Amino acid sequence: MATQDITVDAVLDGGLELLRILMDYCNDTTKDDAVKRENLAVIENERILQQKQEETLLNLSEISDSIGKSADGMIGTNQKTVDNLEQTLDQFTDISMQVQKIEESGRLFFNQFSQLNTEIVSIEKFIVAIQSIAMNTQLLAFNASIEAAHAGQAGKGFRVIANEIKKLSSNTDDMSRKISETINRLRSDLERLVSLNEENTKKLVTLQQSAKSSLKNIEDIKQGNGETFQSISTLVGRLKESGASISETIANINEVDRLNRLKAKAISDDQIQGLIQMNDRISFIIQLQQIFLYLKEKLAGADSRIAADSFAG
């Protein structure tokens, strides 16, 4: 009888330790939710940055159209051409400065992606640790079931609890896999966004080079009136090319914004579902802890009565 009681007490202690581990897991998962909130904040910052980029590019497009119209009007007279070229020089200088700012924003965008990718790698390592805990929990629940079976009728209720713990461990493992799948989708979206960002950066570099080249052409026009009309025609052609490049870049930015919105919604939905499930698990763990403590008190009371009966005898 004494050996049986000691075994049940040890199983109860092991169950309480298991519940402590599960509660630590819940706390660690809460930290994971904090990382997701940080990811949402990064996505929101990216969206704001993309809106600014789009506004700037639309402004560039309007400026390019304005320059094109001005260039067409330059074909009138020599004096009018010189006056318009002065205005065009200022506008192209402004374009070059704005493109440079967009390039800097793109580099910041890329750095944020790199940081987010580092966070994803950390989460993946954490998921591996959670899966290991779930596996050990299943093994501990299995051993607890065996000990409950050895305890006979006294361990019947504990065997039910051990089975519930095994279910909880299995659910934990399933949740870990779902989180891993979400992380993989997030990584895939990030890779696509990085690719689009690199493509946009290349187009912006090309656009800046075109602007610099156009500036040089305008300076040449000012120096030689004999080649004015031919240079203006070249400038108009390049402006049209720049306008097409700007339109394509705006389309890419809109695509990035669409993907960001979808990604933010997926993360938000996953976070809400995870919080609901985590609250349910925490409530269940607390109830189990109370049951285990109650069983320990009952077991301690039974031992006290046996000791008192032995002393009286």
Answer for the pair 90, 215: CB distance below 8 angstroms, yes or no.
Answer: no
Band (pLDDT 50/70/90 cuts) for residue 4 is: very low
Cα–Cα nearest to 290, from 12, 103, 8: 12
| Across 34-38, 92-96, 187-191, least confident range | 34-38
Q: Give tens-digit pLDDT for 31-44.
A: 666 656 666 666 67
Residue-range domain boundaries for the chain: 2-308
Band (pLDDT 50/70/90 cuts) for residue 259 is: confident
Phi/psi zone of residue 191: left (φ > 0), alpha (ψ -120 to 50 degrees), beta?
Answer: alpha
∠ CA 156-161-165, rounded to 5°: 145
| Across 74-83, 167-176, 201-210, 279-288, least confident range | 74-83
Residue 271: per-residue pLDDT: 66
Answer for the pair 71, 218: CB distance below 8 angstroms, yes or no.
Answer: no
Tokens of 231: 């240079």
* Three-state DSSP string of the chain: CHHHHHHHHHHHHHHHHHHHHHHHHHHHHHHHHHHHHHHHHHHHHHHHHHHHHHHHHHHHHHHHHHHHHHHHHCCCCHHHHHHHHHHHHHHHHHHHHHHHHHHHHHHHHHHHHHHHHHHHHHHHHHHHHHHHHHHHHHHHHHHHHHHHHHCHHHHHHHHHHHHHHHHHHHHHHHHHHHHHHHHHHHHHHHHHHHHHHHHHHHHHHHHHHHHHHHHHHHHHHHHCHHHHHHHHHHHHHHHHHHHHHHHHHHHHHHHHHHHHHHHHHHHHHHHHHHHHHHHHHHHHHHHHHHHHHHHHHHHHHHHHHHHHHHHHC
- For 251, residues 6+ apart whose C-beta sits below 8 A from its C-beta are none
Query: CA separation (Å) from 39 to 33, 106, 116, 168, 249?
Result: 10, 18, 7, 28, 25
The single-letter code of the amino acid at 232 is: I
Band (pLDDT 50/70/90 cuts) for residue 290 is: confident
Query: Percent of the chain beyond pLDDT 70?
Result: 51
Distance of CA 33 to the CA centre of its chain: 11
Across the chain, mean pLDDT equals: 69
- The hierarchical CATH code for the domain 2-308 is 1.10.287.950
Cα–Cα nearest to 112, from 182, 202, 205, 190: 190
| Mean pLDDT, range 172-189, rounded to an integer | 76
Cα–Cα nearest to 281, from 155, 126, 173: 173
Angstrom distance (rounded) from CA 105 to CA 145: 59
Q: Give tens-digit pLDDT for 139-179.
A: 766 776 777 677 676 666 666 776 777 777 677 777 777 77
